[in-house]
Amino acid sequence: MYSKSLYFLTFVLLVVIGLLLLWAVRVHDEAIRQIPRILAREFPALVAREIPPVLDGPGNTLHSLATEIQQDYPFVQEIVVFKFREGHGPTAVYPPFFSQTHPDFLEKHLEEYEAVPLRFMSMPVGTVYFRLDQTRRRLFNTALIGVLALLVVYSAVGVRTLQKTSAQVISKTVALEEKQRQLLHLERLSLVGQVTAGLLHDLKKPLLNIRDEAAGLQDTQARNAILAEVDLFLHMLRGLQLEGFLNRSESKAEFLDLGEVIERSIRLVSYARNAVEVQRSIPENLPFLLGQFHQLVQVFSNILLNAFEALDGKGTVRISARQGVFLHQGVQTPMVEIVIADNGPGIPQELLDRIFEPFFSPGKGSTGLGLYTSKSIIDEMGGTIHAESEIGKGTRFIVRLPIEEQELPAEGK
């Protein structure tokens, strides 16, 4: 604020100085324009007298008048008076002895002087030559040009400063809008957490009842499958669904087989599969991944569910995985890449850029939280997830998860 005030005061001061210089130049020029009129008015009567050049000294009226004019107008450096004398031509009558000291004045030096013809009683009686000192005018012009240059520089700096300030204001406005948008999401997520806290509590009751009832059944494959699915669903309710935005599960990570995770994910959303063909290409020698089983099942089941819904009961989903070294956060990092691709209708680019936002869903009947949850889990695991899509050809989700150092094959093995 202080710098802006100082800049403004300096700019105003320069403008005032420039106006004063313009006024001084105007006064100086007006004085110069008056000199010929003064000389033409004051000198003719004196020049008309018969004043011999040798007698025209400090004691006569012509010298006094010339001295007075030079005192009133200091920039008048020199005044030379010539009188027309019959039979002799123009003769210098002031200063004394000027003809002797400057015999070639009329032939060689006239370009340095301004000439004022003198007339007395309508008759030409002589000429006054005066020379001006241009130093003052040059100083005025130099100072004026300097002030104008400073004003131009200050104006350019001011415009640049204004542009920077405007850019900063726009940047801060955009940042503020982004913060407001994030706060709105947090408020909505907080509301979701409060509402679902009781809902999840009620959902657990029938699930626990189902588990207890199934535990009393004979030890069959169906019974074991029911118990396993109930346990998995309880894990997901506690750690990953709606309340997972606010309070992540504190379960410990373990080394997981990617093939098993994928199979459980497919089975979890098989109700939406219908006639969709699922093709798997997962090498058996992939390293184990360090994570929580139910979290990774949640990630891949969300992606598969979106693919099944996009295919509307028919089409193909291809699941592939490979081990490699990928650029991650500017560093070449060993990772496992999982690609889930479908040959569905695809996602428009304007929607593809937003699919990982909370509460955003291009489909009907969805909360818009699945992919947001999946991305949050992958981010926490130090991995990456992104989607690629082409209208009419399908969508690909690419997930990359880091490989722990102890899982890398040792040299020579």
Q: How confident is the model over 226-252, as pLDDT tens digits?
A: 878 777 777 776 654 444 444 444 567
Alpha carbon distance 240, 295 (integer Å):
7
Alpha carbon distance 203, 41 (integer Å):
116
Q: Please, are residues 262 and 303 in contact by the beta-carbon 8 Å criterion?
A: no
Neighbours of 363 (CB within 10 A): 9
Look up residue 64 and give its amino acid. S
Domain range annotation of the chain: 2-133, 251-407
Write out the two tokens for 330: 């500017």
Residues 6 or more apart whose Cβ sits within 8 Å of residue 17? 147
Q: What pTM was computed for the model? A: 0.46
| pLDDT at residue number 190 | 58
Q: What are the distances in angstroms from CA 402 to CA 256, 300, 338, 387? A: 13, 16, 12, 18
pLDDT (tens digit, 9 = 90+) per residue, 162-187? 778 788 888 888 887 877 777 666 66
Phi-psi region of 330 (alpha: psi -120 to 50; beta: other; left: phi over 0): left
Q: Which of these, 289, 280, 379, 283, lies nearest to 334 by C-alpha position?
A: 289
Half-sphere exposure of 38 (CA within 13 A, CB side): 16
Alpha carbon distance 61, 43 (integer Å):
10
Q: Please, are residues 261 and 296 in contact by the beta-carbon 8 Å criterion?
A: yes
| pLDDT at residue number 325 | 92
| pLDDT at residue number 64 | 84
| pLDDT at residue number 394 | 93
Residues 6 or more apart whose Cβ sits within 8 Å of residue 229? 268
User: Residues of 323-344 as b/e, b for ≥16 C-beta within 10 angstroms?
Assistant: beeeeeeeeebbbbbbbbbbbb
Alpha carbon distance 344, 281 (integer Å):
19
Q: Please, are residues 328 and 335 in contact by the beta-carbon 8 Å criterion?
A: yes
Write out the two tokens for 232: 């998995």
| pLDDT at residue number 252 | 77
Alpha carbon distance 265, 258 (integer Å):
10
251-407 — its CATH code? 3.30.565.10
Give me the residues of the chain with pLDDT under 50, please: 1, 53-59, 240-249, 407-413
Q: Please, are residues 346 and 394 in contact by the beta-carbon 8 Å criterion?
A: yes
Q: Which of these, 266, 267, 381, 280, lies nearest to 322 by C-alpha position?
A: 280
Look up residue 96 and give its amino acid. P
